[in-house]
Amino acid sequence: MSTENTPAANDGQDPAQGPHAIIETPMDQHRAKPKTHFEMMLQAGLNKPELSGSVIGAFMSTEVYFLSREEVTEGNKNAQPMLLTNPSGEAVVALFTSLERIPSTYIDQAPFGIKVQGASVVRALDKTGFVVNPGDELSFEVPADGVVILQEQMLKQKKDDQA
């Protein structure tokens, strides 16, 4: 399916305005809408910062995808998640709430999607943050120091549960 604007998209408009106008296609409008429970929580959290704790809690229990250059198989269980660089210059693991939120340019670089629980990602990270849906409207980032705090909270919760 093409997401290019057809000539009909310019009907009734001055053609000279074409290059300067941003035309949102029906596919873009559809893609921007939250489709999962976690995406709805994320959208609510973006609109109300006081819900950020609920968003993180939902992230920990939801399944997300990361991309890998190598396929995970019985013989090769060590995936190398695709890393991006955030505006501060720090490496972050790119995670996605659904396969349709993965830009094709990322798939070209790392074609294998691995589904994992958010808490598993947090447990596995070492001196690295993560970004959910990079470049998307439904996006958020947790830097490396935030991951350490989440790991400490998970460890405390585990100790409390064992007590």
Helix, strand, coil percentages for the chain (3-state, nearest 5): 45, 20, 35
Residue 8 counted as domain residue: no
Residue 54 counted as domain residue: no
Residue 88 counted as domain residue: yes
User: What percentage of the chain has pLDDT greater than the value 90?
Assistant: 50
Global pTM reads 0.75
- Cα–Cα dist 84/65, whole Å: 15
Residue 100 counted as domain residue: yes
pLDDT tens-digit series, residues 12-65: 444 343 333 333 334 455 556 788 889 999 999 988 988 888 999 999 999 999
The count of domains in the chain is 1
pLDDT tens-digit series, residues 63-87: 999 999 888 877 777 788 999 999 9
Residue 98 counted as domain residue: yes
Residue 136 counted as domain residue: yes
pLDDT at site 60: 95
Domain of 133: which CATH number? 3.40.1350
Cα–Cα–Cα angle for 95, 101, 104, rounded to 5 degrees? 95
At residue 112, the 3 state secondary structure works out as: strand
Range of the domain at 108: 63-162
